[in-house]
Amino acid sequence: MSASPSPPKSFHLSPEIHAYLVEHSSPIDPVLRELAEQTRSLGPIAMMQVAPEQGHFLTLLARLLGARRAVEVGTFTGYSAICLARGLREDGRLLCCDVSEEWTAIAKRYFERAGVADRIDLVIAPAAETLAALPREPHLDLSFIDADKTGYERYYEELLPRTRPGGIIAVDNVLWMGRVVDPSDQSEATCAIRAFNRKVASDDRVDCVMLPISDGLTLLRRRE
């Protein structure tokens, strides 16, 4: 049984079960495996990278939606962006929003190696500003939020009116390694995730489901 190339984030699964589910999903190609290994060499910050099963899920989700226009908020070293871009239609475009030149320099090298650089637009600037500058009409098929937790609500409110009916906003880390149910944790990030989770669960503009994929992934479908 081959080991996962990424740090463990599915805290609710045993290492054996997690390894089993990775082994019994589509193979991880050499480019993504090498990117994961390089990211892991960065140290504890490597936990910001999505898990391999989540990457597969993002590719599949983009393909199921027939997505042409997608947005990623929080790109880091590029694993999830490559997965999203690979799932887009041939004429698709992915807008990546990040503030780090350092980490996205790694991402850009692997965008080229993965053959998706021509469909990715990377903007280094505060994501809220980048999103606010997008056309207001509904045109996005798929968005993925995986950035600073205190910004989740703002990113969501910028993306939702720009999402077509039936389009999806996927939000990462909604279980926050279990800290969302730890009443002793009153940190700013944890409180922000709890508040975001409550908000979207009761938002009548969307259909909402929280899935135990990796560190928790919420899917929000804009209603017709």
Strands 140-145 and 69-73: parallel
* CA contacts within 13 A on the Cβ side of 120: 31
12 within a domain of the structure (yes/no): no
DSSP letter string over 153-195? HHHHHHHGGGEEEEEEEEEE-SSGGGGGG-TT---HHHHHHHH
Mean pLDDT of 32-46: 95
213 within a domain of the structure (yes/no): yes
* The pLDDT of residue 153 is above 90: yes
Rounded Cα distance, 80 and 18, in Å: 19
Quote the domain boundaries for residue 210.
Answer: 50-222
Mean pLDDT of 25-33: 95
Tokens of 131: 């999103």
Q: What is the pTM of this model?
A: 0.94
157 within a domain of the structure (yes/no): yes
- To which residue do tokens 């505060």 refer? 126
210 within a domain of the structure (yes/no): yes
CATH number at residue 120: 3.40.50.150
* The pLDDT of residue 4 is above 80: no
**How many domains would you assign to the chain?**
1
On average, the pLDDT of the chain sits at 95
4 within a domain of the structure (yes/no): no
pLDDT in tens, 85-133: 999 999 999 999 999 999 999 999 999 999 999 999 999 999 999 999 9
15 within a domain of the structure (yes/no): no
20 within a domain of the structure (yes/no): no
Angle between helices 79-87 and 52-65 (to 10 degrees): 30
